[in-house]
Chains A and B, each alone.
Chain A
Amino acid sequence: MELNSFLLMRHEILLFSIILLLLIAELFLPRNKKSSMIHLALVFFGIHTAVGFLPLAEGSLFGGMFRSNEMIHFFKGVLNIGVFTLLLQSAQWLEKNMLKQDRGTEFFLLLFASLLGMYFMISAGDFLMFYIGLELSTLPVAALAAFEIMKRESGEAAVKFILSAALASGVSLFGISMLYATNGSIYFEDIMSTLTATNLTLLGFILFFAGLAFKISLVPFHFWTADVYQGAPISIASYLSVISKGAAAFILMILLFTVLKPLMHVWEPLLYILALATMFTGNLFALRQQNMKRFLAYSSIAQAGFILLGLVTGTQLGTATVVYFVTIYIFSNLAAFGVVQAISSQTGKENMKDYEGLYRTNPKLSLVMMLALFSLAGIPPVAGFFGKFFLFTAAASKGYYLLVFLAVVNVTISLYYYLLVIRAMFLRKGENPIPFFKSKIYMKLGLFIAVMGMLALGLYSPLYDYIYELSAAFN
């Protein structure tokens, strides 16, 4: 192994250096200058994001334990932009509420550690690295959910999250042990050639799948979602629903389309049923939510159902549409959570009722929210429409007409509750609407990136072509 082959791990090495630098900076910075930590972390991560887009070679390291190709590289870049936007959006909350309590640097350290875990999970070439990546991406988030420790709900959310996450990863590990028992190897390459559908393998696969389904919050494993989102700080709810879910969906796609491809006749009907259950449950529960965080939680469960729709196909078109859809979903949800964050960190209000008459007082914010919700619902001018449209095309091209029909029914249901929020903002007057306020520059920038991402992905078609080209790597 030569020294320059480490360049393949550029993302990971850079991010870990940032973690160490911040850790050291925290030690030496005087107490009254802690607010400059936020700027420092933002600058570091901005550089990391920019460097991440330089081209990278394809290959694998450590005997196949770590692998990278252009698709993985691209997705890491998307995650970077997502986290950068999220950091911009949460800077105000950190500065206003958290710095007084002498906490702030830990937020970045834990968030970056979790992101590092996602990198390793995506790049994993064997089940061991996958499992460690999964743990590294989950464990710090539990501490982050308890970040507003003086609030009771925050601690409660953290306990709920860590208990269900521990159970899920335990189940997943049990499944992996069964796959190892039947195949005699933990390397993806080796398993691919020996995998056959014996009973024990199937049991192992289902247990393993349950662990990932927990992270994407598919329906039988979704109970933690709404409670944790509501109790945790908004930044963390946003992180869980955007970055964590996006990365988990991506790794699920890689695993299903490469390692577990021999079991396709098993996971196809499984995903079919789970997709329907997830869409219907998410949408029907979202109808009656009043708290914005709970509302977005159920909406994100429903979106996970749509992701499965693309996974069912197992073709190159499926890969491309899933990646495209997940990327759009990341930006749309970031914009929606960003607006909730902006309003909450300014006024502390989180209910749908408080949003009544928002257009009269804060027209720009409500415009961003409208675009985000349109994109999530799939209304033409924004990217979400193309994302859903391509997903349906991919599923229909494999002959899943009934599934596509039921998905369209679900889009209609979701349109209703997304428009409820828009009605509250634009048409209702409201007794005491949120007064006009000006957001800080970071928040503005964060919302701007999210909106630009939504518009660019929808209107600039070479991006989709690029994703389609890359997705040849997994088929």
Chain B
Amino acid sequence: MEKVIFYLLAIIMVASAIASVSSRRMLRSVVYLLFVLIGAAGLYFLMDYNFLAAIQLTVYAGGIVVLIIFSVLLIQHIEMELEIAKSSRRWFSALLCLMGLSIFLGTIYSHPFAVAETTSTTTVAEIGRALLSFEKGGFILPFEVISILLLAAMIGAITIAKGGKEIKQEVPESLDIDKILQDAKQQAEEKVMELESSTKN
């Protein structure tokens, strides 16, 4: 039964991952990505990592995808379609991807992994304790440093978003000599005409 569910999830994930990168509309790509993320959450449930699966659903499927959709909507029109690459380039990158995939799969499948014997699930209380523990296996330091990272990222984002006033360059605009000459000529001719008409009167 577990195997059936696993393969079902895997097929959904791989299919929507391929659809996500090959779709020509940004918004559709994002929605396909959502299926990949939900599938990953399903895999975590299958392995009894309940907390991780919940986090995956709330943070990735819930938060991050919404963020991506927002930025897509802010930047692009919904109808806009991405360009299609040249077919030679497409084949080349497909070949490269397949080669990479075969190398990775070959190495991972040939590795003799030690099968873990413990099957007990990690409770939220244990995770919470590990997150704030400073002994070996505790994560208080990374936890704190990540908050500094978030602070820095926020400051950086504000710096970029707040923009800047345009500095006026002192370089003159490109001189269109022909146009200037023509204008001058026209003005001179008009003046001459005026003068002539005034002298006639």
Using a CB–CB cutoff of 8 Å, the interface residues on chain A facing chain B are 1, 16, 61-66, 97, 100-103, 106, 109-110, 113-114, 116-117, 120, 128-129, 132-133, 135-136, 139-140, 142-144, 146-150, 158, 181-182, 184, 187, 198-200, 203
Contacts and interface: CB of A to CB of B under 8 A. Distances in A.
Interface of B: 103-104, 107-108, 110-111, 113-114, 134-142, 145-146, 148-149, 151-153, 155-160, 162-167
A113 B151 contact: yes
B159 A143 contact: yes
B107 to A, nearest CB: 5
27 contacts: A16-B148, A61-B141, A62-B134, A63-B138, A64-B136, A65-B141, A100-B165, A101-B167, A109-B155, A116-B148, A120-B145, A129-B141, A132-B149, A133-B145, A136-B148, A136-B149, A139-B149, A140-B155, A140-B156, A143-B159, A146-B159, A148-B164, A149-B164, A158-B160, A181-B113, A200-B107, A200-B108
Contacts of B162: 102-103
Contacts, number: 105
Contacts of A140: 152-153, 155-156
Contact of B104 (A66, A143, A184, A203): A203
A143 B136 contact: no
Contacts of B140: 62
A132 B160 contact: no
A64 B136 CA distance: 7
Contact of B145 (A61, A136, A143): A136
Given A110-B156, A149-B160, A62 B145 contact: no
A143 B156 contact: yes
The binding surface of chain A is classed by DSSP as: helix
B138 A143 contact: no
A142 B145 contact: no
Contacts of A61: 134, 141
Given A113-B148, A135-B149, A139-B153, A103 B164 contact: yes
Contacts of A16: 148
Given A142-B156, A149-B160, A150-B163, A63 B134 contact: yes
Contacts of A102: 162
A146 B160 contact: yes
B142 A132 contact: yes
Contacts of A139: 149, 152-153, 156
B165 A101 contact: yes
A150 B166 contact: yes
